[in-house]
Every structure is written in C-alpha cells, then in structure tokens.
Structure 1
Amino acid sequence: MRSHHSRTNASLFLFLLFSLTSQAQKVTEIRRFQLKEVQQGVAVDQTHFYVINNHSLTKHSKSDGKQVAAWQDTTGLLKHMNSGVVVGRKLYCTHSNYPDVPMASSIEIFDTRTLRHIGTHSFGLFPGSVTWADFYEGYWWVAFANYSNKSMAEGRDNRWTTLVKFNSTWQQLESWAFPANVLQAFSPYSTSGGTWAPNGLIYCTGHDKPELYVLKLPERGHTLQYVKTISTISEGQAFAIDRSSKEKQVLYGITRNDNYVIVSVVE
C-alpha cells in the first residue's frame, strides 16, 4: 500500500507540472541567423545583437546578421561567460568559474562600439555562480545559480538559486528565492538567462527547455511569484528582449546544437 507521503509527493508533482503548462503561451518566429558559434547567449540593442560564448564575443547587424566586430580573451583569466545586457554603450557580461567550486563570479564590461574590454566587477567567492544580470529602475538584478548535479556546491542544490538586488555601486540590498515549480523545471540545472520585461515582470530561462518562466516580486515574503510559462522556439540559455521595439515584445534567443540566433515575437 502506498504511503500518504508518496501520494502527497505524486499530487504535488502533478500540481507543479500543471501549473507550468496550463498557462502556456507561444511565440512566433520572425527570422533566424546561423552563425559560426553560438553557445551561451545573446544580447541586443537598437542596431546590433551580440553573441556570448565562453571566452569570446561577436557583434552582428540586426538586419542581416553580418558580423561587424569580434573579441577573444587571450589572457586565460575568463572561464565561462554566460549572458549579457546592453546598458547605454556598454555590454555587461556575466562570468563564473563554473563548474568549479567554490563558486566565484564577476561582471565583465565591454564597449559596444568596438567590443574592447573596458572594465570588471568581481563578486569573488559567492554562494552561487552568476548567470544573468539586468539593470532596471536604477538597480542591478543578478541571478546566482546553484545546481543539482555534479557541479553542486557542498550541501546545496538548485533550491539555493537566488536573485539578488544591488544598487548602482554594487551594494547588496535584497534577495529572493525561486518558486518550487520553476526550480523543478530547471532541474538538475538552474536559471541560465533572465531580464525584466517592459510589462514589469521578470522573464527567465533554464538550461535547455524551450520555455520562458514569468515571475514577479512578491508582495510579502522571500520567494518570487510564478505567473505563467511561455513556450519558445529558442532553447533555454541566455536571451534578450529587444527594448528598442516599442510595439511588440521581440525576443532574441539561441539554439546551441546548430548555432542559431532566433528572433521571435510574443503574440
């Protein structure tokens, strides 16, 4: 006879699965660009998009995907760049020592015009690997991932994944946990991409699944609130919302197995 505990776990799993799929919303592909290497993520501004790989960046025209600039780390100091966001004329890329432990992270800063490396901010040893960052309403919002696989820190799994709010000079102000159903969808990995959307909600991705998870800050408590799931064409990893598009919500995402940058719109 099954125990009450087993039935409860099964019911909880079905509830979490339903809550992730019941509000699914699809997007429509606009165009795609196949490039030489697309492995970690993409950032975007008014005229160009930027492909982020472990140790390199490329800048491309939004109209035809033509590469107009490139940067390659030649120091050996960078191990795993994850995502990027354009603020003004600067591209801020998240970087970590993943899959090493103890986890250590930094923000690497580049000039969007030339892709020249112009600055860095080190988080040092931190309880998580930085995977994405966004600048919104005068604050930095930074996700620190933990994993439920061989890369997990001692005594931690992906439930320790955290969104941290910093002021403009990187002083930590607040932090939030991620909701259980989204962590289940991430598992055994964690959040790989994220940004604030123009509608005032947080969009984030996991490692592989073609889904965006929409969250919001809670009215009370310490855990982000789940809103809905949006089915996507791009597959997890770091993505960007094109904030220069005022009429439609345009997403830039990637597929790593065939090196595509995919542009889509939320209907």
Structure 2
Amino acid sequence: MIRILALATTLAATAASAEPQLRPGAETVRRYPAPEARQGVAVDARFVYAVANSTIAKYDKQTGAKVGEWKGDRARFPHINSCSLIAKELVCASSNFPAAPHWSAVEIYDPATMTHRRSVPLGPGTGSVTWVEWKDGAWYTAFANYDGKGGEAGRDHTATALIRYDAKWRRTGGWLFPASVLARMAPMSSSGGGFGPDGRLYVTGHDNAELYVLELPKDGAVLDHVATLPIEAEGQAIDWDEGQPWMLYGISRKGGEILAMKVPPAPVR
C-alpha cells in the first residue's frame, strides 16, 4: 500500500509539472476608452486601433482622442477579429464566424487614410482565421475551431492550428496547440497572438485573463507551452508595441477599453 501511494504521488507530481505554472502577471499602465474594443487592438508609434467586427476605429496614442474610422459592409466583413501593423499596413484577420462552413481572409488597410487596400482570400477547410503575424519572411496565421456555436462539423477546439505561409501565401508548415493551452481555452479557441521581443509566441484565448507563452518545437508538430502569465485583458486579440519593448496592448470588452500592459519577460528554459 505504501508503494502504491508513493507511486500515485510521483505520477501526480509528474502530471502537474507537465503544465507550466503561472508566472508573475502583466501590469496595466494605461487605459483608453474605446467602445469599438470588442474583438482586439492594433498599435503603432502614434496610434491605437480598436477592432469590432466590421469597424476599425483609430485613436491618438497620446491624447486618447478618436481620429479616424473605417466601416465595412457587414455582409463582406462579418467578423474582423484582429489587426496588426506590418510593413506600414494594417493587416487584419477576417472570417464569417460564427457561420459555417468557415471561410477566412486577410484584409489589408492603409492606416493613414483608414481605407481598404486589398484582400487575400484563404478559403475554407482549416477553421476561422483569428490573427496574422509576419516573422522571418513568413506569414503565421492562427485558425480557430470551436465546440458548439461557431464550430464546424468534424472539428472542435482541439483542431485549432498555427499555419505558416511564405510571402506569396503558399503553405509551408503547420502546428497544433498544446493540450495544456487548449484545455484552458475550451470550448473556444485562440483569439490573439504575436511574436514577442524574445522571439517567442504569446497567445490569448477567447475569455480567460491569461497570456500563454509558446515556442515552435524543434521537432514534431505541436507547439511547446513555456509559461502562463496573468493579464487584465479578458482574452481577445492583442498586439505588441514594437517601439516599446515588452509593452503589449489588449482590450477589456467588459469595460470598453484598450489596455496597455507591461509584460515581464518569460524565463529562459
């Protein structure tokens, strides 16, 4: 009996250590009132952008004043989930969530004039695209899948995937999310993500006030879960401020706010 209890204790400890523990959280250093902050936020040197399905609102970073807006046809742009400033363009993930079958597109805007420039249709078959990033000459896109509402037959939240494309949007690789992160996101999926100053991937879910630190694996096709950081933003799409290291922007849907958060660097393994 003693040996059995000792073995059970060892197995429990091993299982607990398989999931990274919570690390010190991010500090919210500024809030911007933004009623459009429903899906996510983007940030550049002078402005922050609140994303709300078929609307993108532009706010002055210093004063918080609203200075511009784009509104699209809801039939064509039913669910813009996130945006990010890439090569002086506002690059946004768009889908037909919660409708099915899923289709996805990348919509690209001029942030100076807040006008639509072009679309990159990604089509059906993988899920609903929720965020787009550019790193080392490649596009990285997250395709969300869901249990219940917003789900598609034959897939649930465990089918959420990170897909890599080359500069011409040809698929070059793909990874699933680790079980430890999927369990915290269930029954929803990843709503936000971006590569941090340390080159790691920082990801949010749909509802939880948590930031998941991930790495591309050296082998295999499942992302590595490094750490979990508490944040004030209740999931949704995020964006790193490239001009201020470790400053991450997110939103509070409950408060109708954009949040500027100082993130502590995750430990090196």
TM-score normalised by length of structure 2: 0.90
Q: What residue number does 1:231 align with?
A: 230
- Superposed, which structure 2 residues align to 1:194-213 within 5 Å? 194-213=193-212
Q: Say whether the 8 Å CA contact 1:128–1:144 is kept in structure 2.
A: yes
Counterpart CA distance in 1 for 2:258 and 2:137 is 29
Using the TM superposition, give the Cα deviation of residue 126 of structure 1 relative to its aligned residue in structure 2, in angstroms: 2.5
Q: How many residue pairs get matched?
A: 255
Match of 2:3 in 1: none
Choose which of 254, 257, 262 in structure 1 pairs with 2:251. 254
Kindly report which structure 2 residues correspond to 1:25-64, keeping only aligned pairs within 5 A, or say none.
25-64=24-63
Equivalent residue runs for 1:82-97 within 5 Å: 82-97=81-96
In the alignment, the residues of structure 1 paired with residue 171 and residue 192 of structure 2 have an alpha-carbon distance, to the nearest angstrom, of: 20
Tell me, in whole angstroms, the C-alpha distance in 1 between the residues paired with 2:78 and 2:203: 23
User: Tell me, what secondary structure is at the counterpart of 1:102?
Assistant: coil
Partner residue in 2 for 1:5:
none
Superposition RMSD in Å: 1.9
Q: CA deviation at 1:18?
A: 7.9
**1:34-80: per-residue Cα shift (whole Å, max 9, x none)?**
12321000011111111111110111111121111101013631110
Task: Find the counterpart in structure 2 of residue 117 from structure 1.
Answer: 116
Structure 1: tracts of 5 or more residues without a match: 1-7
CA contact (8 A) 1:105 1:126 kept: no
Letter of the structure 2 residue corresponding to residue 239 of structure 1: I
Provide the rounded CA distance (Å) in 2 between the counterparts of 1:109 and 1:231: 31
Q: Aligned residue for 1:65?
A: 64
* Distance 1:48-1:16 versus aligned 2 partners, 3 A rule: farther
**Deviation digits for residues 139-182 of structure 1 (CA, Å, limit 9, x no counterpart):** 10000011122322112111111100000110000000100010
Q: 1:29, CA displacement in angstroms? A: 1.4
Offset of residue 127 of structure 1: 1.7
Aligned residue in 1 for 2:263? 266
Q: Percent identity?
A: 36
Whether the 8 Å CA contact 1:51–1:57 is kept in 2: the answer is yes
SS in 1 for 2:19: helix
Paired residues of 1:251 and 1:263 also in contact (CA < 8 A): yes
Cα distance, 1:44–1:154 mapped onto 2, change above 3 Å: same
Q: For 2:94 and 2:17, how far apart are their aligned partners in 1?
A: 32
Q: Give ranges in structure 2 of 5+ residues lacking alignment.
A: 1-7, 265-269
Distance in 1 (alpha carbons) for counterparts of 2:125 and 2:195: 23
**Contact between 2:36 and 2:55, CA under 8 Å: does it hold in 1?**
no
AA aligned opposite 1:181: S
**Aligned partners of 1:105 and 1:45: how far apart in 2?**
25
Deviation of residue 28 (structure 1)? Answer: 1.1
Instruction: Please report how far the alpha carbon of residue 265 of structure 1 lies from its aligned counterpart in structure 2 after TM superposition.
Output: 0.4
SS in 1 for 2:237: coil
Distance 1:56 1:220, change over 3 A: same
Cα distance in 1, alignment partners of residues 206 and 73 from structure 2: 27
The alpha-carbon deviation at position 256 of structure 1 amounts to: 0.6
Distance 1:254 1:17, change over 3 A: farther
Partner of 1:193: 192
- Partner of 2:219, secondary structure, is coil
Extract structure 1 runs of 4+ deviating beyond 4 A. none
Residue 147 of structure 1 is matched in structure 2 by 146
